[in-house]
Chains A and B, each alone.
Chain A
């Protein structure tokens, strides 16, 4: 269950300005049914550029509906030059915050607002998708410009956060590497890849561990099938063994060697060990 603020519950259950605005002169549409949420924002902007009225229609979860509702309250009475500066953060803050996995709902609000104002000014409705940005996430139609905006406005530091804010990478995951690159460039730091520290083994340590794994894990498994194994030598990362019992005559012994012995040693000792039959 999501931990929504009272403000989110309130705006979800009692949405303000819900429904289309008959005399709207600016409409911003973002999202789609396929994406799982969509917002159609209606604005009536007067000659002086003041937003006189606002309305919305939203398909989506409680936080999407609440974000839309609070957005209409925020912009009413604002000048468009002021409104265009609103970010997703302002929307989330007006709701007392959103769960991090739901931040994309506030981003949807900010994008719809921008689209509506651009339409009113006679500019192309979606600036990012075509001339200004390159499509990164094909599943949710997110461009690099949208990703950069989310990073800058919210101080994002990880790929996971970017997915939470923009949805990019949240479906098939094919673009996660590209997102990591965009993030790394933006942070001007090496790519954030977690490298688990690998202990370096001395020759004696390696030999001891290999013996232990063969004695305790591998041999009992082979013995259960009537075979056995003896350690012959450990030469650097080359492990020489001899297979005995039924393994000695088994035509699948090469498979056993590779799939059982080498894999187990790689998992439990070092990942670049090779196993050969002596």
Chain B
């Protein structure tokens, strides 16, 4: 059975070019970039090139790029640094729909005595900028708002929000893990102070991330030790993965337009096909302003995990915000924050495409999902 992978917001396939770029650094080029000899020095050159490629994708300067082990480390470091460098400021602003990599960190600092504002969202997962303006204060240490929501794809006006923060002298961080490569960024011209990204969401392997820290932003490292990354992140560089991420960033720059048009076209075809073939379903999120690859569809009166298992039989991979898939007993915090009614929330399925998704895969899904939903609805006690 062929695998149809529509779960690219969970993780992505490693691009063949990325794998090929990495392999020499798992083989003959095993030197330490910090070494004084040229055997290590040549590796340092390759790491520099990767840094430049990542910087180019973000519209940043190479020295503003810190390689980390993952998006979560980047997020943890951003909070740590912002709070340690501004001990007199005791307030944090974030949103109710952040990824757990932010939410749980914010809650940790809340337990340490910080005042945290969790901005609410409306039924399309949009933020209210007036509420944000009201929450912003001079003694706010950090604002952290995601570039785009991982579950429903809604894109946030982070550049505008960063400017509003800057007017009050407040540092702005964005978790861009889901947006990088799908929505263009030009950090050189923005007021964003820090940004997190993760390699495995853009066709690099798992285990590599980046924290961007704009020049001039005061910084305190989370990992102390050696002088790597200019003393901002200790630990010998994960060279093969850094090289891989550099290549992935290069490919992402090249494919940005394809993501925004080709992938979006297939996503729309999938979404419209399913909505036309299946009664009583609706799209979660802001269809006007959404990641080009994401479609979150709620099927009334059926449960998400059951849908996923039906899809799994067909070789189709997707995710659900239902309670049963996570092992928790409630639907996802994002769907709850949006106020999605229970009749729909438990039956929400996220399809996320990539530039490797084909027309045939979309057609196959549109062809087979309706009968699976019908089967489940037949045995559901709730009708209409």
Contacts and interface: CB of A to CB of B under 8 A. Distances in A.
Contacts of A256: 87
B322 A61 contact: yes
A21 B307 CA distance: 25
A65 B342 CA distance: 19
A36 B346 contact: yes
Contacts of A259: 87, 90, 113
A221 B346 contact: no
Interface in B299-334: 301-306, 309, 313, 322-325, 327-331
Interface string A212-254: 0000000001001100000000000000000000000000100
A140 B342 CA distance: 13
Contact of A65 (B301, B328, B331, B379): B379
A64 interface: yes
Contacts of A102: 324
Contact of A221 (B87, B324, B342, B343): B87
Contact of B379 (A29, A36, A56, A225): A56
A15 interface: yes
Nearest to A252: B88
Secondary structure class of chain B's binding surface, majority of residues: loop
Contacts of B329: 36, 140, 163, 167, 170-171
Interface residues of B, number: 33
Contacts of A167: 329
B27 interface: no
Contacts of B327: 101
A39 B380 CA distance: 8
Interface in A126-178: 140, 163, 167, 170-171
Nearest to B87: A260
A255 interface: yes
Nearest to A38: B381
Given A36-B303, A171-B330, A62 B309 contact: yes
B303 A59 contact: yes
B378 interface: yes
A37 interface: yes
A57 interface: yes
A255 B88 CA distance: 8
A263 interface: yes
Contact of B331 (A15, A18, A36, A38): A36
A62 B305 contact: yes
Given A171-B329, A255-B88, A59 B381 contact: yes
Contacts of A170: 328-330
A192 interface: no
B342 A34 contact: yes
Given A34-B342, A36-B346, A170-B328, A18 B378 contact: yes
A19 interface: yes
B112 interface: yes
A13 interface: yes
B381 A58 contact: yes
Contacts of A33: 301, 342-343, 346, 382
16 contacts: A2-B305, A12-B309, A19-B378, A29-B381, A33-B382, A36-B323, A36-B324, A57-B379, A59-B302, A60-B306, A62-B309, A167-B329, A171-B330, A224-B220, A225-B87, A255-B88
